[in-house]
Amino acid sequence: MNYDKSNRFQDFFEEDRYIFLKNYLYNYLLRKRAVEKSLQRERPGLILEVGSGISPVMTRTGCIVYSDVSLTAIQNLKRTHGKGYHVVADGLNLPFKPGVFSHTICSEVLEHLEDDYRALRELARVMRPSGRLIVTFPHKKFYFANDDRFVQHFRRYELHEMEARVRAAGLKPIDIRKVLGPLEKLTMSFVVFCFSKIRKYGPQKVKQAQGHRILHSFASLFKWANRFYMGLAWLDAKIMPRALSTVVLMKAEKHRST
């Protein structure tokens, strides 16, 4: 993966402010809950999470391999979340033998990759027969806006497009769930606009030590505000039709003969 084209988050992995606040974000918490819920009735063996960054969506097991193309992200994740194994790896060329994992997880990653077909084939390759993939992705092309451009998404997906990609990799979709609705899109577009302004004009005016004090004072409020907003976003996703979902989860099973 090329950082310049498809890993905008590399800039953030080196910022203490981003690392400090990322795990409190309401949309991350809802994605995490959706992925964990999709595994509730299963007994996974070894799990692979691709593109985990500093905030993996599966944290309730130690039988997991976290991978990301960013060394900085993996180092930070290993320091803050000691469970599991941590590997620097490109999702387009995974350094694992075929049939190693019972489950693979890919949450908000494929849209950052120019060759998402190849990434899905790699995920399928390292899965056992009847293994399962859980993927979350930004839904609906008409939602493409400033927040997508800011993190350099190559695309948003129509549901039938993701189904076609998954099938082309030798997998069969078995479950589709809504994760986030239109409220999330409105919120993130506004937040990215504000963050861009702060990032442009704010940091030069605040000394680093003073910035850390402000950040820690703000953290408690930020955390509880996101907990409250998570409830609103969950309700929004629940009542809105799937056609208006902004993030969707798909679970797919690998064909036995693949």
pLDDT value for 32: 96
DSSP sequence for 198-256: HHHHSGGGS-HHHHHHHHHHHHHHHHHHHHHHHHHHHHHHHHS-GGG-SEEEEEEEE-T
Q: Does the pLDDT of residue 57 top 50, yes or no? A: yes
Arithmetic mean of pLDDT, 143-163: 94
Q: 105-136: string of b/e by CB count within 10 Å (b at 16+)?
A: bbbbbbbbbeebeebbbbbbbbbbeebbbbbb
Secondary structure of residue 176 in the 3-state scheme: strand
pLDDT value for 2: 40
Q: What is the CATH number of the domain that holds 140?
A: 3.40.50.150
pLDDT tier, 215 (very low <50, low <70, confident <90, very high otherwise):
low
What's the pLDDT tens digit per position in 15-45? 555 566 778 889 999 999 999 999 988 999 9
For 242, the domain range is: 3-254
Among residues of the chain, what percentage have pLDDT more than 90?
A: 65
Q: Does the pLDDT of residue 6 top 50, yes or no? A: no
- Rounded to an integer, what distance in angstroms lies between the CA atom of residue 51 and that of residue 11? 15
Q: Does the pLDDT of residue 8 top 60, yes or no? A: no
Please name every residue paired with 157 in a beta bridge, in sequence order, or none if there are none: 139
Domain count along the chain: 1
Residue predicted with more confidence, 200 or 7: 200
pLDDT value for 5: 41
pLDDT value for 120: 98
Secondary structure of residue 71 in the 3-state scheme: helix
pLDDT value for 45: 95
Lowest mean pLDDT among 5-14, 26-35, 158-167: 5-14
What's the pLDDT tens digit per position in 67-106? 999 999 999 899 888 889 999 999 999 999 999 999 999 9
pLDDT value for 222: 79
pLDDT value for 4: 41
Arithmetic mean of pLDDT, 162-187: 97
What's the pLDDT tens digit per position in 216-256? 666 778 788 888 999 999 999 999 999 999 999 999 999 87
Tell me the pTM.
0.86
Mean pLDDT of the chain: 87
Other Cβ atoms within 10 Å of 195 Cβ, number: 15
Yes or no: say if 244 and 181 are a contact pair by the CB < 8 Å rule.
yes
